[in-house]
Amino acid sequence: MSGLRVIKPGPLSLLQDAGRFGWQHLGVSPAGPMDPQAAAWANRLLGNPCSSAVLEIALGGVELEAEEALWVAFTGADMPLNVDGELRLNWSRFHLEAGQRLQIGFARSGQRGYLALVGGIQAEPVLGSVACQLREGLGGLDGEGTRLAEDDLLAGGDGDFPRGASVPWPWQPDYRAAQSLRVMLGGDAASFDEAQARAFFERPWQISPQSDRMGVRLEGDPLVAPQRQWSQGVVSGAIQVPPDGQPIILMADRQTMGGYPILGWVHPLDLGRLAQCPANQNLRFIVMSLEDAQSELREFYRFFGR
């Protein structure tokens, strides 16, 4: 079978597709890639549907061996790539001969890289998705939410191309740049004191080391949030403000219900940039309109064919 054999799995490498939808009423998280744009580009380089399964590699430190000749694509964090000692470009597709080893070093900027195979990485779906959710024990190669391990096989890769290709450089994000993330106000925003809501956008925030795939925790001068007596459904990008006043931005492995007041939502296309930010990085937030966010999302879906 064509595919890549895992020699070194890295600290946290997870199989992810577009996510597990239609089960949130039962408390099942959608999961999916933390940086949807990088994952979509990896698939596009190989002519895959953007929902095809890819390997999300956190931090790097991965080594894979080709079982047969195949094409791969890699995007996302700036991780050194080499094939049997020869350098390869990030944000590109390239060929591996049978027996060649792809070594993915540790990230120099960004946090997560995305590896794609032609046709997507093959695994048995659980509740309609192969997205790996560690906390709930769903998806992944074994269907039980297990991270990549030594000697696993990433099956797929049947296809051919006349040459390599890369994402044009204007579309390759600079993860080293200072990040200003766009926010759509809403939810409980009207219940916040006006000065407190304004303070969220005027103050700098720092990413807490306690952040993970469930949520990015911010540290800074605390906000005073209104009280709420009930829980409600939540979505990725929701900005929750708990009693300690330190906001939490919900990410791919978020819960499906939450009781903390919500100030607004980070633009879905900015969540990928947030996912690439390391702990202790400073962030700023700016307000944008719902209409502008919808327009950008439509353009994104048209381009990637979702």
User: What pLDDT was estimated at residue 229?
Assistant: 67
Q: pTM here?
A: 0.95
- pLDDT by residue (tens digit) across 263-287? 999 999 999 999 999 999 999 999 9
User: What pLDDT was estimated at residue 2?
Assistant: 83
Stretch 78-97: mean pLDDT: 96
User: What pLDDT was estimated at residue 306?
Assistant: 65
Q: What's the CA gap between 54 and 16, in Å, rounded?
A: 6
What does pLDDT average to over the chain?
94
Domain boundaries along the sequence of the chain: 3-171, 179-304
Stretch 100-122: mean pLDDT: 96
Class of domain 179-304: mainly beta
CB within 8 Å of 84: residues ≥ 6 apart: 100, 101
- pLDDT by residue (tens digit) across 37-61? 999 999 999 999 999 999 999 999 9
**pLDDT tier for residue 167 given thresholds of 50, 70 and 90:** very high
User: What pLDDT was estimated at residue 39?
Assistant: 97
Stretch 161-187: mean pLDDT: 90
- Indicate whether 103 pLDDT > 90: yes
User: What pLDDT was estimated at residue 82?
Assistant: 96
The answer to whether residues 31 and 22 touch, using CB atoms and an 8 Å cutoff, is no
Stretch 18-41: mean pLDDT: 94
User: What pLDDT was estimated at residue 177?
Assistant: 79
User: What pLDDT was estimated at residue 237?
Assistant: 95
- pLDDT by residue (tens digit) across 226-276? 887 678 899 999 999 999 999 999 999 999 998 899 999 999 999 999 999
Stretch 64-77: mean pLDDT: 96
Per DSSP bridges, beta strands 62-66 and 86-88 are unpaired
**Within a 13 Å sphere around the CA of 207, how many CA atoms are in the beta-carbon half?**
24
- Indicate whether 34 pLDDT > 80: yes
User: What pLDDT was estimated at residue 159?
Assistant: 84
Select from 117, 121, 101, 135 the least CA-distant residue to 30. Answer: 135
**pLDDT tier for residue 205 given thresholds of 50, 70 and 90:** very high
Stretch 135-149: mean pLDDT: 94
**pLDDT tier for residue 176 given thresholds of 50, 70 and 90:** confident
